[in-house]
Amino acid sequence: MLLTAAGPHGHGNVLGRGLYPALDRAGLPRTSFHSLRHSHASLWIKGGGDLITLSKRLGHKTPQITMTTYAHEIEEAQDNAARTARVEAMFSGTEMAAVLAAGAPSSPSSGTIIEIDKPADLQGNYGLD
């Protein structure tokens, strides 16, 4: 139940008169408050937000509850961070790093082609000529 200046509103009333019309106007599928809450927590973790703040935002009694509930998201975020660090280390000091640092689009779907000189050891009968 939600209390407002106009009086109490039941869960169904809040969904039917508030959440669902807003989602419909935005062209988004209908979902529940619980799904929105879970999405918020997952995006917070993936974005590198700290767990203590998230725990407080979710109203969990302890951060341990948050860590237990979202362990899969935490593990995935850590894996992604480790993978990003490995890729950055591989390309550190290379021409590709310079291209990326210059702000070149990172997606081939952007229609931009990035040309990089072929290393001398790759020129020859490798189908790259």
> pLDDT tier at 45 (50, 70, 90 boundaries)?
very high
Residue 57 falls inside a structural domain: yes
Residue 76 falls inside a structural domain: yes
pTM for this model (two decimals): 0.54
> pLDDT tier at 28 (50, 70, 90 boundaries)?
confident
- Mind listing the pLDDT tens digit for each residue in 59-99? 999 999 999 999 999 999 989 888 888 878 877 777 777 77
pLDDT given for residue 128 in this prediction:
47
Residue 84 falls inside a structural domain: yes
Count of Cβ atoms closer than 10 Å to residue 108 Cβ: 9
DSSP labels for 28-96? PPP--HHHHHHHHHHHHHHTT--HHHHHHHHT-SSHHHHHHHTHHHHHHHHHHHHHHHHHHHHHTTSHH
Residues with Cβ within 8 Å of residue 31, at least 6 apart in sequence: 23
Average model confidence (pLDDT) for the chain? 77
Identify the domain containing residue 90 by its residue range: 33-96
